[in-house]
Amino acid sequence: MNRQPALGRRVLVTGAAGSIGSRLCSALLAAGCRVAGVDDFFSGLRGNIEPFAGDPRFFFHERDVCESGLLAELSALHGPFDAVLHMAAVVSAPWSVENPEYTDAVNRAATLALHEEARRLGVGAFVFAGSAAEYGLPLDGPAREDMAGEPQSPYGLSKLLSTKAIEESGYGCALRLFNIYGTTEGNPGPYDGVVRRFLDAALRGEPFTVCGDGGQTRDFVYVDDVVRALLHASGASGGEPLSGVFNYGTGRATSVAELAGIVAAVSGRRLEIISLPERPGDLRHSRADMSRSRITSLPMPETRLEDGLRAAWERLREKDGRSG
């Protein structure tokens, strides 16, 4: 990335200790930005920010995005922000079914309050991490941005209400991110994403557990590709910040059963699958239509699924070796 366009920009990243937010902070620092990171460690990990925690241009705040006036307070401390990249969220659809009020408070109410505060303070760019879960209706083909509706979980609904409000306001943008995987992670729990579960099972030499018949499909996109798109959307790559709602995925569908096979091959483990009941709030099929994103010159994903999974596997083995 060309460092010059972003040099000296002040950027706020929420969810800074999460799998996306931490990579985003690292990329922004490498581009010459001054970065304020916010996280309450609900799902983020302190270890994700350790590689750059000592950078004099990085300022971390253990805060809750639901706090009123958070952006104004941080702006008074660090100076006016050029961009806000809002990654903080409750990220599990099944967990949101059990905790709908908390999910709405974090994913919708806090997002809209932060968005309005950013507009009032004159922040040049606002980028929100939307989700493929906003497409709740059964879809036969790729999901276009105008197809979003009737999400199957409070998580999907909270994201949809936020992206719609941002789009209607004419200020800021939302990238509807499809199934992200990569080499950083959040706190483990019973609702971890399928890639994380498969990699952990391979590491332990245990069978892969599949919810349902394994025929459900997802659009898996590597975290570093997502970070490049987010930087572009914020204007940090040199262009104008985006406005509106845009899908971000590969446009390719991979079944959960196929994913298990690839993880087994990458890890050198024997493929053994145990079937579990389907989970509430999960979609059957999910694949991004990338037409609108291509028109806006968003950088398209470059990482093959096999290569991204291999990188994630090697990182997991390295971490396990250090802790063992």
| Coil/strand/helix, residue 102 | helix
Query: Per residue in 233-282, pLDDT tens?
Result: 999 988 899 999 999 999 999 999 999 999 999 999 999 999 988 876 66
For 39, 60, 272, the CA distances from 45, given in Å and listed in that order, are 9, 13, 30
205: its two tokens: 């030499």
Alpha helices in 55-153 (DSSP H): 70-78, 93-98, 100-104, 110-120
Q: Is 78 exposed, middle or buried (0-12, 13-18, 19+ CB in 10 A)?
A: middle
Residue 40 CA to chain centroid, in angstroms? Answer: 16
Q: What is the pLDDT of residue 39?
A: 98
Side chain identity at residue 98, one-letter code: E
Query: Per residue in 5-28, pLDDT tens?
Result: 677 899 999 999 999 999 999 999
- Does 68 score more than 80 pLDDT? yes
Mean pLDDT within 93-100: 91
Q: Residue 107 and residue 101: Cα distance in Å, rounded?
A: 10
149: its two tokens: 């509706």
Query: Per residue in 160-174, pLDDT tens?
Result: 999 999 999 999 999
Element (H, E) at 208: strand 208-211
Q: Which sequence positions are flagged as catalytic?
A: 155
**What is residue 82's DSSP assignment?**
S
Alpha helices in 178-304 (DSSP H): 194-204, 223-234, 256-267, 291-295
Tally of CB atoms within 10 A around 92 = 23
Q: What is the pLDDT of residue 2?
A: 41
- Does 3 score more than 50 pLDDT? no
How does the average pLDDT of the chain come out, rounded? Answer: 92
34: its two tokens: 């001054």
**What is residue 187's DSSP assignment?**
-
Tally of CB atoms within 10 A around 141 = 10
What is the pTM assigned to this prediction? 0.93
Please, which residues have CB within 8 angstroms of residue 148's CB and are 6 or more apart in sequence?
Answer: 134, 135, 136, 160, 163, 164, 176
Please, which residues have CB within 8 angstroms of residue 140's CB and are 6 or more apart in sequence?
Answer: none
The answer to whether 67 touches 254, Cβ cutoff 8 Å, is no
The answer to whether 218 touches 282, Cβ cutoff 8 Å, is no
The answer to whether 85 touches 13, Cβ cutoff 8 Å, is yes
Residue 13 CA to chain centroid, in angstroms? Answer: 12
Tally of CB atoms within 10 A around 222 = 23
| Domains of the chain (ranges, CATH numbers) | 9-323 (3.40.50.720)
Mean pLDDT within 126-141: 89
